[in-house]
Structure 1
Amino acid sequence: MDGFEIIDPRFKALVLPNAPLETLGDGFRWLEGPVWFADLDCLLVSDLPNDRILCWTESGGVSVFRQPSGFANGHTRDRQGRLIGCSHRDRCVTRTELDGTITILADRYQGKRLNAPNDVVCKSDGSLWFSDPLYGISTDYEGGKQMSELPPTLYRLDPNGDLTVVADDFDGPNGLCFSPDESRLYVAESGAQFASDPVQHIRVFDVVDKRLTNARVFHTISPGFADGFCCDEDGRIWSSAADGVHCIHPSGVLLGKIKVPSVVSNLTFGGRHRSRLFLCASHTLYAIYTNVRGAARP
C-alpha cells in the first residue's frame, strides 16, 4: 500500500489504499493545536510562530480566524462547545465565549504565573486537563522569552475554578489525550527542549476519579518523538512522528504508519463521520481519509 507502512497485519484494515494524502494548505511557519467543529464543518488550527489561529473549510479553504492569538497552541472544546485554548505569550488557558469574548480560565498557580500552557483536553465532568511546559517562554519564536516561575507540570482545572497539580514529574509535558472511556490519560513527554539527550516517550496514567495513578511508559516514537496525538473509537493512539503518523494499539504495539513528507506535530479526527484525519505537518496542513472513526465525546 503506497503511502503506508504495514507493521502489524491489523493496520491494513484501518487505512484506505485509494484515499490519498491531500494538501489543504501550505506556506505556514509551524502548525499546532487542531480542533474540529462538526457543527460549523470547519477546522481551527494554530500557526504558532505567526501568532494566529487559522480556519479551514472544504468550500473556503484557509482563512484567518484570529490574529493576534496570544501565540495560541493547543485547543479543545468544552462541554458547551466553546473553544478552549492555550496561550504561550499570555501564559494562560482561555475560553472563547459564544459571543466571541475571551475569558481567562487559569494563569496562575498558588500566586505564581504559569509557564506556557501547551495542550488541553476536556473530560466528561467538565474539567480541563492541561500541560504546562517551558517551551513557549524559552524562545522568541513561539511566544517570547520570559522567566519561569513554576516547574513543568500537568494540571486539572475543575468547573468551579479550582486548579490542581495532577503530575509534576515531567521534563516537558506536551500533548494529551483521554482514552474513549476516560480510564486512561496519555501524555507526551517531549523532554527538555535543549537537552543533548532528552527523555522522550508517551506515558499513560490510569484515571481514578480526579487523580492519576499507575504511571508508566506506553510507547516510544521513532524516528522523532510524540508531540500530539488522538484516539480512535477503539482506543488506538494515532501519534505524530518525524516520518508521519504512527498508529499504536492500546497494548502499546506499533501497528503501522501513514507516511508524510514532513514532520507531523499534531493531528485530530474530523469530517462528516470523524474518519478524516487532519495533520499539522510543519509548514503544511494535510488530511487523509481512514477506515476508523475518532473517539466520540463521552
Structure 2
Amino acid sequence: MMAAMHRRAAGRPDVATIRTEWEIRDERFRGIGGDRFVQVLFEGGRWLEGPVYSPAWRSVLFSDIPNNRVLRFDETTGAVGVWREGAGYANGRTLDRAGRVITCEHGTRSVSRIEPDGTRTVLADAWDGHPLNSPNDVVTRADGTIWFTDPAYGIDSVYEGHPGETETGGCHVYRVGTDGAVTRVANDFDRPNGLAFSADERTLYITDTGRRHLRRFTLGPASTAGTAGTDGPLSGGEVIAECDAGGYDGIRLDAAGRIWGAAADGLHCLAPDGTLLGKLLLPEICSNLTFGGPRGNTLFVTATNTLYSLMVNVTGARYPDATAQ
C-alpha cells in the first residue's frame, strides 16, 4: 500500500495530495484511470461516512459520526464547514428525485428527510412496532420507495450513538413504501451495510460487513397487495464477492454497471458478477464513496479521518446521488 505522504498540488498550495496508485487484478480494469494525484480535501474527522454529492449546491455532504456533525465540502471554493451539528449521529445519506437529503441517523434510530425549508421529517423509526437499531445507509428508487440497512453499530456503544438493545430480532434490510409503510425485505444478514441499485433498478447489491462479502438480490414482480408501483419481495441473495481487505462497507455503481466498494485498503472495483477487477489503494480504511462533480466523474471517498477526491475516466450510474449525463 502507498505511504501516507502528502505533497501540495501545483498552483494550489492549500490542497494536499497523494500519488494515485491503481492495482490491476483483471485486464478489464487496465483502461480505468484518472488524476495522477488524489486530493486530500479534509483531514479533521474521527470516522467519516455517508458522502453524497448535490449538483444543485456543487457540494458534498458527509458525516463525522463520533463528533455528531455533518460537514459540507463546497466544490466551488474548496471550503469545508459544518452543515449540521447535533446531527443525530448521522451516517449514510442520499438524495431523492427532488434533491432533498435523506439521512440515516444512529442517535435517533431513524431515517429522516430534510425539507426545502430546513425542517426534518422522520420517514422510518420502527418496524412492526419495534424501534429500529441504527439505520446505516440508504438509497431511493424511481418508484418513490426508500431502501435502507439497519445494523447495530449505533447502539453498540457511545462511540457512534447511544447504547441500546436490538428490538427487531436482528440486523435487517427495509423498504419504506410511498404510503410510509416500513417493510422488512431481507432478514438473513449479520451486519448489512452499503447498498446500491443497478441502472435498471431490478438488481440490488448489499454488503454484509460482518461476513465480509457482497450479495446480489433481484426484485420480484409487482405485488397487487402492496403499494402501487412497488415490486414484490427480494429474491436471490447469493454471495458474489468476498472482501480480501477487511469487510465491504459503502458501495456505488458506475455507468458501466461496475461496483465500487469501500474496503480497508481503498476502493475495490468489481464486475457485475462480483469479479474483482482492480483497486484504488488509499492509506486509510475507507468507509464510503460517491460519484459527483459537474460530469459525474469525480470520486469522493470518506476514509477514517479524511475526505479524498479523484477525477476518473468513468462516470457514476444513474441512481439518486449520481450525476452522469
TM bracket (short chain) = over 0.9
Q: Is the 8 A contact 1:186 1:204 kept in 2?
A: yes
- Name the structure 1 match of 2:128: 110
- Name the structure 1 match of 2:66: 49
Tell me the distance in 1 between the aligned counterparts of 2:189 and 2:300.
Answer: 28
- Name the structure 1 match of 2:217: 205
- Name the structure 1 match of 2:158: 140
Q: Is the 8 A contact 1:19 1:290 kept in 2?
A: no
Q: What are the equivalent positions in structure 2 for 1:1-298 lying under 5 Å apart?
A: 3-16=21-34, 18-58=35-75, 59-150=77-168, 151-191=170-210, 199-208=211-220, 209-297=231-319
Moved over 3 A (4+): none
AA aligned opposite 2:122: I
Tell me the distance in 2 between the aligned counterparts of 1:75 and 1:67.
Answer: 16
Q: Is the 8 A contact 1:19 1:289 kept in 2?
A: no
- Output the TM-score relative to the length of structure 1: 0.95
Aligned-pair distance for 1:229?
Answer: 0.9
Tell me the distance in 2 between the aligned counterparts of 1:200 and 1:244.
Answer: 15
Q: Is the 8 A contact 2:20 2:280 kept in 1?
A: no
- Name the structure 1 match of 2:15: none
The size of the alignment, in residue pairs, is: 290
Aligned-pair distance for 1:11?
Answer: 1.1
Tell me the distance in 1 between the aligned counterparts of 2:25 and 2:240.
Answer: 18
Q: List runs of 5+ in structure 2 lacking aligned partners.
A: 1-18, 221-230, 321-325
Tell me the percent identity: 47
Deviations 1:234-291 (A, max 9, x none): 1100111111111101121111111101111100100011100000010011011111
Aligned-pair distance for 1:86?
Answer: 0.6
- What SS does the corresponding residue of 2:28 show, helix, strand or coil? helix
Q: List runs of 5+ in structure 1 lacking aligned partners.
A: 192-198
AA aligned opposite 2:40: T
User: Alignment RMSD, CA only?
Assistant: 1.3
Moved more, 133-142 or 145-154: 145-154
Deviations 1:101-147 (A, max 9, x none): 00111111121111100111001101000011111100100001112
Tell me the distance in 1 between the aligned counterparts of 2:243 and 2:294.
Answer: 30
Q: Is the 8 A contact 1:25 1:61 kept in 2?
A: no
Deviations 1:158-210 (A, max 9, x none): 1111111100111111111111111211111112xxxxxxx220111012223
